[in-house]
Structure 1
Amino acid sequence: MARTPQSVSATPTDGGDLTRLVTRHQPLLERARTALRTREHWSPYPEDPRAYGPEAEAAGEAAFRALLGRPFELGQPGRDGTVGPAPAEGGERSPYGFELGISYPHTDPDTLLPAMAAALPAWRDAGPEVRAAVCAEILHRINARSVEFALAATHTSGHNPVMAFHAGAVHAQDRGLEAVAMALAEQTRLPARARWRKPQGDHVVDIGKTFTPVPLGISLVVANSVFPTWNGYPGLFASLATGNPVLVKPHPAAVLPLALTVRIARETLADTGFSPDLVCLAVERPGEEAARTLAVRPEIRLVDHSGTTAFGAWLVEHARQARVFTSGSAVNTLVVHSTGDYRDMLANLAFSVSLYSGQLCTSPQNLLIPRAGISTDEGHKSFEQVVADLGEALGTLLSDDNDAAAVLGALLGPAVSERVDLAQAGKLGHVAVPSRAVHHPDHPEADIRTPVVVALDAAREADRATLLTEWLGPVCFAVAVDSVDEALALLARTTRECGALSAGLYSTDREVERAMVAVCADVGVMLSVNLMGDWYISQSAVYSDLHATGLNPAGNAVYCDTDFVAGRFRTVGVRRYGGAV
């Protein structure tokens, strides 16, 4: 049975209450650090909405509805106007076909950033343990409102219900806690106090030493519209836990999930006796390009960006006063060589390319299949038969509109729809499995499409150019290759030139598997081998899997390794003669 989250009644406002807060969250943080060491399965945040109590879903729905059509207040300094509520004014429109009607405060960075800087010293001086406990409390309060967060994800990013509750809520919370636990471990690697004695002739030199983690400064989180919390929480909580104020710049199409996050963080900080200005929101007006102007300001010392590789590269080049962490575009490849369970493989592939309409950064795009076919437990299957059978598996999975909508979710916007139209029209290659429109029973205006599978040939130069481009959305390429060697060479080239976050292999041949492992190590991409059942190439297990490697153009950030947190602070030592500490 899933654990029911405990409620928190205390609102710490002094040193004693902070001590109790540290004590209350210490077991959670220690358990998270244990999971990071062992890489075992663990999560404190239940994945089943029913675990949050019989009234949670209704309460979350009511809370979400109460946000619509209203101003969203934060109480930040420097307010100089409003963004939204109409889309033309920067307001959000649900991919399911209606305007959210929420307006957000716009703030002047010349006022906001000094207020954030002024909040830093007390937060720095609180120490790693207190900061980690406050961050855990923020996440606890967010977790209690997971249904509300899931609905916010649904109606900004187009998630299906399960994806919204997982990636939009509880798994994002896991990523945040993972960063906090890792940050705590790195900041306490050195002792806070030490006594150093050295025999020196007829006496002993006695020196007391202290080691204090010192934050770099204000952190800017530049979020995307696909997974604003899942991709945003690692940087947000890694920076906050290491003592840095955080300015969150949401994508204009997906403000609400991060606005809710900032509001809860500000409330928690105030309740625990710290300045709420340690966490602020920067919503941009249409055409303002706030990320570009904010990222290069001298006050910004850290930047976390999740979005296109091109803008990540721009940030690295221009935001030279800051440490920049990037998570960008990806072209993911899966090699189909052979299988001992053909039907299970097809079902797994069908779900992998369908989940969230292929809009996941880890979704497989290029399926490389030998031109001569593959060996299976059902005998030899030709290239054409594999592609046709994949089409049948997609048809079985998505035959019912209600079921299909629950798997696919809605397309993010016109750019995704245009890519599907281009592929469906045969402009990219032979349409082996056509896409069809799916009717959502509750949201008839939602743009939902089943995947279109395009057959390509690796021997054709034009087809290779297509494969070296990210086609975010329900567009999948079945690619005929001459051999395993050609498949591995194409995977390596794609990853080196375009970046990749996942690679997959189906093979019963250990030599093929060893060759694939070697290539993936060489180009720096995580590999999944022979996934079957209900675990898919696009999934990433928090506290266990590392998301990305930092070794290819898909980005330099890894959720969550030591480098991701250790670069956000430095340690300053003090020496006192006579042993005093």
Structure 2
Amino acid sequence: MVPVELAPVPPSLRTDLLIGGTWRPSGSGRTFEVLDPASGAPIAEVADASPEDGTAALAAAHDAWPAWRATPPRVRSEVLREVWERITARTEEFAALITAEGGKPLSEARAETAYGAEFVRWFSEQAVRITGTVRTAPGGANRQMVLHRPVGPALLITPWNFPLAMATRKAAPALAAGCPVVIKPAGYTPLTTLLFAEVVREVLAERDLPTGVINVVPTSEPAALTEPLLTDPRLRKLSFTGSTEVGRGLLRGAARQVLRTSMELGGNAPFLVFEDADLDDAVTGAMVAKMRNSGQTCVAANRFLVHASVAEAFAEKLAAAFDELVVGPGWHEGTTVGPLIRPSAVDSVDAVVADAVDRGARVVRGGTRPDLAGYFYTPTVLRGVPADARASTEEIFGPVAPIVTFADEDEALRLANATPFGLVAYAYTRDVGRAFRLAEQVEAGMLGLNRGLVSDPSAPFGGIKASGLGREGGEQGIEEYLDTTYVAI
């Protein structure tokens, strides 16, 4: 096995809790380790927030709320614009942290830094575009005025796979709308979020604005921390990205205070390739949709549904593209596929592949664990995967591309929609009529047509069915943090 090599980490790390503008240890004095998934070695010890720390963070956010919501939209906009500039200027520092704690190749980490920063810039522009209406009632007896006001303190629970982008996608619209936030980052990757919060804190402090607007409480026991917050009347908004199972539990908890909720949950994205598709373009899109962050994204192509007449050719081209991938630590030059996040993730992916093979699938490429320290799995292409195999019915969250064939458009739609999830779908076809039919009939919140990437800060991101509630990004993203008030005059 290749010897263990530690990930390089920027020299200055924030590892304490940020509460009310002050960095401080956990009230319990406890810490937990952050590991490098490329080696399994610890890279930092982070303060382990207790339930009392979570309550203190919410109190700080609530105390900051009156001043922050009264801050002119132009000022909030300028704050976010300055945060965007500083993140961009520190791209290499952010990218190094993303790679060290999450494992993704540096090129992808730099791309995430730009993507995450762009949410801050986009919502800096939206802060001054919160509109209302005044009109005469149809009966003419009075006028109707509609106002939009910040909903209040928000709890933001972010996942490990995009530690900067998921924090900015939630925090930027909240701050733009006038809502203070408490961020509970994933325990696997809290360092990047802590650095982001420090950038925001610095800008607020320099402008003599309330630094309690942003609070961060990493913890090894998320349920214990969030449970009392969900029953605290000072909290008015919950935004969560993660598994559907956890999301259902949080929705039950949020119901007690009837919180405004945004849920971005699991997916099972179909990637449809029709007989008229440009196969080279389809493979290029497949590599983007499948292999970002080693397949560990909620929008990763999960099932490749390919017309029977082109399935063999598509499989060969996809396998050839997989042959060009380089597996290794994310900070190594030339690496294109980093590790999975934990040993359990490798075990899960391996079990999914074994299940498919047991059901008659053929391994075209991969299907092994490489001889590397850390948590790696070889990029894998499976052919002849049954529609009822785990690879077809479960979110894989790893570098495995299962190919299922279909005979016609009706069967393709049936297979695509045969899931309780509906986050995103992808389709490659040159038939314009078919493209519109897919847009109307595929059961997903987003559809990539002849494109393997749908995420964009200026577009609404979110799913339907068991994939979630609400939207992030676009004009709709800031609306998730606004209440509507109607005044009859």
TM-score, length basis structure 2: 0.84
CA distance in 2: counterparts of 1:355 and 1:260, whole angstroms: 23
Is the contact made by 1:423 and 1:431 (CA closer than 8 Å) also made in structure 2? Answer: no
One-letter amino acid matched to 1:160: P
**Distance change (3 Å), C-alpha of 1:472 and 1:404:** farther
Asked if residue 446 in structure 1 is aligned to residue 360 in structure 2, the reply is no
User: What SS is found at the alignment partner of 2:468?
Assistant: coil
Partner in structure 1 of residue 446 of structure 2: 526
Q: 4+ residue stretches of structure 1 with deviation over 4 A?
A: 76-79, 188-191, 209-213, 397-405, 436-439, 571-576
Q: CA deviation at 1:256?
A: 0.4
User: What SS is found at the alignment partner of 2:165?
Assistant: coil
Is the contact made by 2:382 and 2:402 (CA closer than 8 Å) also made in structure 1? Answer: yes
**Distance change (3 Å), C-alpha of 1:347 and 1:274:** closer
Q: Identify which of 298, 318, 321 aligns with 1:393.
A: 321
Q: CA deviation at 1:244?
A: 1.4
CA distance in 2: counterparts of 1:305 and 1:515, whole angstroms: 32
One-letter amino acid matched to 2:294: S
**Distance change (3 Å), C-alpha of 1:254 and 1:293:** farther
Where do 1:68-467 residues align within 5 Å?
A: 71-72=15-16, 74=18, 75-76=22-23, 79-84=26-31, 90-97=32-39, 98-104=41-47, 106=49, 108-167=53-112, 169-186=113-130, 188-189=131-132, 214-286=149-221, 289-320=224-255, 321=257, 322-339=259-276, 341-371=278-308, 373-374=309-310, 383-398=311-326, 406-425=335-354, 426-427=357-358, 429-435=360-366, 436-437=368-369, 445-456=373-384, 462-463=388-389, 466-467=391-392
Greater CA drift, 396-405 or 354-363: 396-405
Greater CA drift, 127-136 or 282-291: 282-291
Q: Give the total of aligned pairs.
A: 467
Partner in structure 2 of residue 54 of structure 1: none
User: What SS is found at the alignment partner of 2:375?
Assistant: coil
**Distance change (3 Å), C-alpha of 1:574 and 1:506:** closer
One-letter amino acid matched to 2:448: S
Partner in structure 1 of residue 395 of structure 2: 470
1:362-416, Cα deviation, whole Å (9 max, x unpaired): 2111111233x13xxxxxxxx3443234223322445999999622122111232
Partner in structure 2 of residue 508 of structure 1: 430
Greater CA drift, 483-492 or 176-185: 176-185
1:430-486, Cα deviation, whole Å (9 max, x unpaired): 2332324557xxxx523333322223455x6x33x6522111111221002232211
Q: CA deviation at 1:288?
A: 5.5
Unpaired segments ≥5 residues, structure 2? 1-6, 136-140
One-letter amino acid matched to 2:47: Y
Is the contact made by 2:460 and 2:476 (CA closer than 8 Å) also made in structure 1? Answer: no
Decide which structure has the larger Cα Rg and report it: 1
Q: CA deviation at 1:518?
A: 2.5
Is the contact made by 2:83 and 2:120 (CA closer than 8 Å) also made in structure 1? Answer: no
Q: CA deviation at 1:246?
A: 0.6
User: What SS is found at the alignment partner of 1:101?
Assistant: strand
Is the contact made by 1:309 and 1:328 (CA closer than 8 Å) also made in structure 2? Answer: yes
1:294-352, Cα deviation, whole Å (9 max, x unpaired): 23322211111111122222222321221111111111101111246434433443454
Where do 1:473-512 residues align within 5 Å?
A: 473-494=398-419, 497-501=420-424, 503-512=425-434
CA distance in 2: counterparts of 1:77 and 1:486, whole angstroms: 57
One-letter amino acid matched to 1:231: M
User: What SS is found at the alignment partner of 1:407?
Assistant: coil
CA distance in 2: counterparts of 1:256 and 1:287, whole angstroms: 16
**Distance change (3 Å), C-alpha of 1:244 and 1:142:** same
CA distance in 2: counterparts of 1:171 and 1:351, whole angstroms: 15
Greater CA drift, 308-317 or 348-357: 348-357
1:11-45, Cα deviation, whole Å (9 max, x unpaired): xxxxxxxxxxxxxxxxxxxxxxxxxxxxxxxxxxx
Greater CA drift, 313-322 or 144-153: 313-322
CA distance in 2: counterparts of 1:575 and 1:388, whole angstroms: 65
Where do 1:550-569 residues align within 5 Å?
A: 550-569=463-482
CA distance in 1: counterparts of 2:312 and 2:89, whole angstroms: 50
Is the contact made by 1:424 and 1:434 (CA closer than 8 Å) also made in structure 2? Answer: no
Q: CA deviation at 1:554?
A: 1.6
Asked if residue 540 in structure 1 is aligned to residue 482 in structure 2, the reply is no
Unpaired segments ≥5 residues, structure 1? 1-60, 85-89, 195-199, 375-382, 532-536, 577-581
RMSD: 3.4
**Distance change (3 Å), C-alpha of 1:122 and 1:286:** closer
Is the contact made by 1:67 and 1:102 (CA closer than 8 Å) also made in structure 2? Answer: no
CA distance in 2: counterparts of 1:479 and 1:571, whole angstroms: 46
Is the contact made by 1:429 and 1:455 (CA closer than 8 Å) also made in structure 2? Answer: no
User: What SS is found at the alignment partner of 2:465?
Assistant: coil
One-letter amino acid matched to 1:103: V
One-letter amino acid matched to 1:80: G
CA distance in 1: counterparts of 2:296 and 2:210, whole angstroms: 38
**Distance change (3 Å), C-alpha of 1:148 and 1:110:** same
One-letter amino acid matched to 1:366: R
**Distance change (3 Å), C-alpha of 1:529 and 1:125:** closer
